[in-house]
Structures are given as structure tokens and as C-alpha cells.
Amino acid sequence: MGRRKAGAGAAGEPETGPAEGIYGISSGTAELVRDPEMPGAWLLKINGVQSSHVVLGQPLVLDFEYMRWMAALIESRWAEPEDGRPLRALHLGGGACSMARYLAARYPHARQVVVEIDARLAELVRTWFDIPRAPLVRIRVGEARAVTESLAGGSRDLVIRDVFAGSRTPRPLTTLEFTRTVRQVLAPGGLYLVNCGDTPRLEGARREVATIAEVFEHVAVVADPPMLKGRRFGNVVIAGSDAPLGEDPQLARTLLGGAVPARFLDGGEAARFCAGARILQDTPGD
């Protein structure tokens, strides 16, 4: 299939359904590539960096390992939403809405808001992919911190932060002050999940764990052993909650049983992981 030239999707409304090509978006370019190894699968790159993977018609298929780790943490907390109340989720960082599609399939009555800063990207992914419509999944264009600060206290059960500018999360979304805002937005027993991309030194991940531990009583870290041993670049998932995180014995087995086995660190292990790390703050002293 021939690829569209850059900006080919920028004039007028895009065609219905995905098509390979490079598209102009508000923050640069979005490239859509067909996955040759999986029918109906697409990879979305933002400014050359892998952002999302989607399999049309199969929302429960998550190709990115860190998303599978997040799914395991969520399902360990909510086998089903309690009291018949819909799961209320806030996604900071949109991309192709892979996690929102997953949760909509796993929890059909969930009510989700996806915050995406790039208005054109939000428009395109709605056209390309099978994302449930509002009120099941609402895409809100805006800056993640500003939107979070505008929300009512206790209005969300789950907050997922998966925001990147290049390979890094913007610092205002990592600080103590922002984490306190997330805590206020979460209902009792709520869950905060963070995707932290880091180098083998793990300095960023350790500081993020220390910062989240300053706000939440319970903190956990999920990553594969080579990452935890400082052998490669990769993703670390960090969880924070006012309720225990490791009580489900199936969770550790699920994490170890994936295509990329991961370790679950909580309690003393999580504390040792971030020992001596400096807390991130809005006014940096470093």
C-alpha cells in the first residue's frame, strides 16, 4: 500500500478507518503504520516515537507490555466495579486510546474521559479506530494538569498518566503538587497508575516513586527484571493508592506469566527502590 505524503490527512475530514501515512497534527506529525504480524493491527507514532498499538475489533488485545501490566493492576483491584456503580476512569494522555478501548470492553458500563492535548490527533483517532462514543469514552482536548485541577474531589476511581513529550513526561505532571491533586480527585480506594519511561540509571523512576509515596499510603512498582537491574531503557509502571495494592495473590502470577515477565514490588521493596531519591516539586531545586 502506498503511503500518503506528510500532511495528506490535514485538509478536510480524513477517510473513515485507518490508512497508512504521515498526517499533520497540532504538535507535529502522526504516522500510522500497519502491523504486518497481526491482522487488523496498527501502530501509531507521534513525531517518530511509538505511541500506541491498536487491533481493530479486538480491544482486549494490548500489544505494549506496560499496558498489560496496568490492566493486571486494575483487574486486581476491580474484578467487577463495586455496588453496580460504573468504573470512573481518567486517562491523562490519549494517543490511540488503547487503554480506554480495553477498559470499555472489560467494564462495559465504565465512564471514561481521555485528555489529549493535540486537537487534531484527537479528531483523527476518533475517525481511525473503534473507540466507544460518549458517554462511555469522551475525548477532552486540553492540558492534562489543567484538566485534572478542574475536576471535583472524589470524582474518579482510576487515573492513568501516560503523557510524553518525546521520551519524557513533562515535569509538571510528575511533581508532589500534581500528585496531591490526583489524590484529591480519586475516590477512597482509588488507583493512580503512572507510565514512567526511564534510562538504565532509573533516577527518574526512583524520584517518581518517592514522590508518589509521599502522597499515597501504598505504592507499588512493576517492571521487568532487566529494567530493575539497570540493564536497559524501558518502562516502569508505578501505582499509588490509599488501599493495599498487593493483596490479590493472582497479581504476581499474572505479571510473571506474560510475554515479558515482570516483578511486583510493594511495601519494603518499593521503599528500598526509592531510598534516598529526592521528591519532585514544582519549584525544582535540581
Would 87 be classed as within a structural domain?
A: yes
Would 54 be classed as within a structural domain?
A: no
Across 7-38, b (16+ Cβ under 10 Å) vs e yields eebeeeebeeebbebbbbbeeeebbbbeeeee
Query: What CATH number does residue 250 fall under?
Result: 3.40.50.150
207-263: per-residue pLDDT in tens?
999 999 999 999 999 999 999 999 999 999 999 999 999 889 899 999 998 889 999
Pick from 129, 239, 151, 236: which is nearest to 189 by CA?
Answer: 239
Beta bridge partners of 33: 43
31-48: per-residue pLDDT in tens?
999 999 999 999 999 999
Would 191 be classed as within a structural domain?
A: yes
* Count of structural domains, the chain: 1
| Distance in angstroms (rounded) separating the CA atoms of residues 136 and 109 | 7
| Distance in angstroms (rounded) separating the CA atoms of residues 221 and 141 | 30
Would 123 be classed as within a structural domain?
A: yes
Does the pLDDT at position 200 exceed 70? Answer: yes
Would 69 be classed as within a structural domain?
A: yes
Would 97 be classed as within a structural domain?
A: yes
Would 128 be classed as within a structural domain?
A: yes
pTM (global) more than 0.95 = no
39-86: per-residue pLDDT in tens?
999 999 999 999 999 999 999 999 999 999 999 999 999 987 766 789
Are 32 and 18 in contact by the 8 Å Cβ rule? The answer is: yes
Please provide the distance, in angstroms rounded to a whole number, between the alpha carbons at the two ends of the chain.
49
Pick from 144, 272, 284, 282: which is nearest to 219 by CA?
Answer: 272
pLDDT, residue 165, reads 86
Tell me the pLDDT of the chain averaged across its residues.
92
Task: Provide the 10 A C-beta neighbour count for residue 213.
Answer: 20
Q: Which three cell numbers stand for residue 82?
A: 463495586
As a whole number of angstroms, the longest Cα–Cα distance in the chain is: 55
Q: Which phi and psi (to 5°) does residue 229 adopt?
A: -90, 5
Does the pLDDT at position 181 exceed 90? Answer: yes
Does the pLDDT at position 9 exceed 60? Answer: no
Handedness of CA 181, 184, 185, 187 (dihedral sign): positive
Would 22 be classed as within a structural domain?
A: no
Q: Residue 84 belongs to what domain range? A: 65-273
